Structure 1
């Protein structure tokens, strides 16, 4: 299978994460924090088992342990905030805001760190994304305006977790696979003490158990694995397909299964966010920022929902 097809598949699989998480929350009556915990624990356990041989060969130095703890904490922050945003708004809106704002946050961070104004391409990306976010914030919702605003704030927190994860993992410390697999597992353990008091009991019904397994396996463990395969020798533009397809898939699925509608204003906002992603990733930046970018072929991790 060509490299680009692996990246396309990863983006589509990531796009099912918000929908399956929302479905699990509805079926089992779980708090969003519990859903995030299940995704991290199940996805991390599956990925860790798949990479058991590689992980056993690692040397767990202080630097490696610090990197894994940081990765776990940031993945926990992202998942908890993202599913909180989904609960407060909708699958499509939360995914669009989270993925669309991540490049903006990275661009601002880079400009501050380098003490230089961003270039024309980056500035255009930021303007498009900010306008798109503003239009999405005014999208009609089944919730009141404060639920929508708070949900968007949570999505921006999730995007900040994406951005920070990407920045700290640009310097290689350990291979990409163990970074993600152990990071997911650690992130789940970080959330566990907070999620348990909220209730994590799953009804022993086939639909609930299969949905939980799907959430941990398909949009988490398998999606990251396919993405890692696809990144081998892929260009930045090709890698960007995964990031762009995630919110697109999430929106299509949420409209089809949850009868969600962005409205005309929301659609315009979504289009502007999509243009911002295209502009951002058309530059040879070396990584896709929709999900944490994990360049294959060298150690370390380089984000979606």
Structure 2
């Protein structure tokens, strides 16, 4: 009996579920970050830096406790890849929050999450020298339309600020797209979780001085704050990116970027439940369209 035929579909489904799980976990990060800012008064860059440092630190402690840290063989290429991933994570986070401060959450979210799959598919097509399938293009269009309905129409503002905010959001999208493309190429013998954790340690160390210069990083560590920091670093950061990099083993990068749009759906649901935010008819329609786009992607051809 040929076991390859039975194992391959199972592996594909597992990796697909890993990407879906990453999107859902990312959706909890926004709410946790908002609650942490309200509780501590930290700036957004400080929260982003702590998110990376705590997530990376927890993975490093796990590697140390299990004895895997001493067995890791990090060559020059591995170290460069980890530092690059960390720098891209810091860029992705800081550009997004800069876009929010210059414009609004709706515009920053719309441009960042809407442009990410477009950039990934464009890069994937250029590197593979092939045109994207009609199914993927239709899924992207459906997802962007759904995202626009879900986050709402961005409010008008100062044209210069809107332009600068849009540029920052595109920079954030480019950072996430680059992380997706690099994540599809494992770092030598490192697994997905060590890759995510060690790169986030580097990213957090790069972002922390910037956060200190722009808004301060001092925070009182009571039990509630520690719990939020641990959750923010573990679930929507270390675990989510570990799942995402795992899924990229068989899920095409363009498809993974589209499936990650489970993030705004999860965030919208949590906002409605926890913060009593009303989605409205347009928001519900947008969530349905994003869900349709994710299903179109998930049931399409994987690499």
Query: TM-score, normalization: structure 1?
Result: 0.75
Q: What is the aligned partner in structure 2 of residue 110 from structure 1? A: 124
Q: Partners of 1:13 and 1:137 in 2: how far apart?
A: 19
The answer to whether residue 33 in structure 2 is matched with residue 33 in structure 1 is no
The answer to whether residue 136 in structure 2 is matched with residue 122 in structure 1 is yes
Report SS of the residue matched to 1:54: coil
Q: What is the aligned partner in structure 1 of residue 10 from structure 2? A: none
Tell whether the 8 Å contact from 1:72 to 1:184 is kept in structure 2 after alignment.
yes
- CA shift for structure 1 position 263: 4.1
- Give the one of 183, 187, 198 matched to 1:173: 187
- CA shift for structure 1 position 121: 1.0
Change (3 A) 1:35 1:128: same
- Give the one of 141, 156, 160 matched to 2:174: 160
Q: What is the aligned partner in structure 2 of residue 208 from structure 1? A: 225
Change (3 A) 1:145 1:257: farther
- CA shift for structure 1 position 55: 3.0
The answer to whether residue 302 in structure 2 is matched with residue 274 in structure 1 is no
In terms of Rg, which structure is larger? Answer: 2
- CA shift for structure 1 position 245: 3.8
Q: What is the aligned partner in structure 2 of residue 293 from structure 1? A: none
Tell whether the 8 Å contact from 2:259 to 2:294 is kept in structure 1 after alignment.
no
Q: What is the aligned partner in structure 1 of residue 61 from structure 2? A: 49
Over residues 56-101 of structure 1, what are the superposed CA-to-partner deviations in whole Å (9 max), with x where a residue is unaligned? 22222221111111111111112223444566544x8866764454
Report SS of the residue matched to 2:185: coil
CA RMSD of aligned residues (A): 3.7
Q: What is the aligned partner in structure 2 of residue 17 from structure 1? A: 29
The answer to whether residue 232 in structure 2 is matched with residue 218 in structure 1 is no
Write out aligned runs for 1:117-266 (5 A): 117-135=131-149, 138-139=152-153, 154-174=168-188, 175=190, 176-197=192-213, 198-224=215-241, 227=243, 243-266=260-283
The answer to whether residue 87 in structure 2 is matched with residue 70 in structure 1 is no
- CA shift for structure 1 position 191: 0.4
- CA shift for structure 1 position 244: 5.0
- CA shift for structure 1 position 103: 2.0
Q: Partners of 1:262 and 1:231 in 2: how far apart?
A: 30
Tell whether the 8 Å contact from 2:258 to 2:294 is kept in structure 1 after alignment.
no
Tell whether the 8 Å contact from 2:82 to 2:198 is kept in structure 1 after alignment.
yes
Q: What is the aligned partner in structure 2 of residue 283 from structure 1? A: 300
- Give the paired residue count: 281
Structure 2: any 5+ residue segments left out of the alignment? 1-12
Q: Partners of 2:127 and 2:258 in 1: how far apart?
A: 28
- CA shift for structure 1 position 7: 6.5
Query: TM-score, normalization: structure 2?
Result: 0.75
Change (3 A) 1:6 1:134: closer
Q: Partners of 1:241 and 1:127 in 2: how far apart?
A: 11
Report SS of the residue matched to 2:233: helix
